[in-house]
Amino acid sequence: MSVLNYLLPVGSMTLTAQKTYRMMAVAAGIERAAQKSIGNIGDEIPGVAGVANREARVSAILAYLEEGNIPASIDIREFQPTLDSGAAVDGWVTAVIAAVGGVYAVLAGVAAPVMAANRLGVIYKVGVQTAPPPVSRLTIRSGGAAGNIIGVFDLEQLANRLEPEGYFSEPVIIDPTTIYAMQVTGIVALGALAQVQLGFLIFEPAGQTIA
């Protein structure tokens, strides 16, 4: 995780900038998915095959996407809580925020999901729908609920600016077969569920889920 990764409230971004950050997340996901043998973009995207530099590959993919192209060998879709993590509720509902300073799963009942072997995830933004916001921090980990931090974001700045969501300066990538955790820290003893929605994309072989 880069120490420079931070949250950009949408009020500080134009619609064009929001689209650009999402496209950058898609490009980074495609590049990483190809490294994990998901898809075959070397035959589809010019400037990728045989290029050793990761940044150059991502730039080539981004240019390809900006021309309106989509790789045929990789499907890209929104994360579905039940399908992709086994959550009982197919929506962005946290565990009960019971105490100040407590750490709670972003998806109720799913403390440490596992990314499927043929899927890769990219998280690029976060929004807090519950008002007033009962959480102060979003933490993303690899290795489970007590694993290494791969992303941490201060959610209070969204509340301070009355912003509904913010984009990550760099997307957080979750590799296939990784045990991971998405957690929020309570700042209000709400005693109820909260809604914290992530911009979370899934990359998988074409045709696996989407017709």
Rounded average pLDDT over 150-173 = 92
With respect to residue 210, please indicate whether it lies within any of the assigned structural domains.
no
With respect to residue 2, please indicate whether it lies within any of the assigned structural domains.
no
Average of per-residue pLDDT values in the chain: 93
pLDDT of 122 strictly over 80: yes
With respect to residue 140, please indicate whether it lies within any of the assigned structural domains.
yes
> 13 falls in which pLDDT band (50, 70, 90)?
very high
With respect to residue 1, please indicate whether it lies within any of the assigned structural domains.
no
With respect to residue 211, please indicate whether it lies within any of the assigned structural domains.
no
With respect to residue 192, please indicate whether it lies within any of the assigned structural domains.
yes
With respect to residue 11, please indicate whether it lies within any of the assigned structural domains.
yes
Q: What is the pLDDT of residue 1?
A: 46
pLDDT of 203 strictly over 50: yes
With respect to residue 38, please indicate whether it lies within any of the assigned structural domains.
yes
Give the Cα-Cα-Cα angle 144, 147, 149 (nearest 5 degrees).
120
pLDDT of 2 strictly over 60: no
DSSP annotation of 28 reads H
Interval 27-69: pLDDT, tens: 999 999 999 999 999 889 988 888 889 999 999 999 999 999 9
Domain encompassing residue 170: 7-205
| Domain count within the chain | 1
Centroid of chain to Cα 4: 17
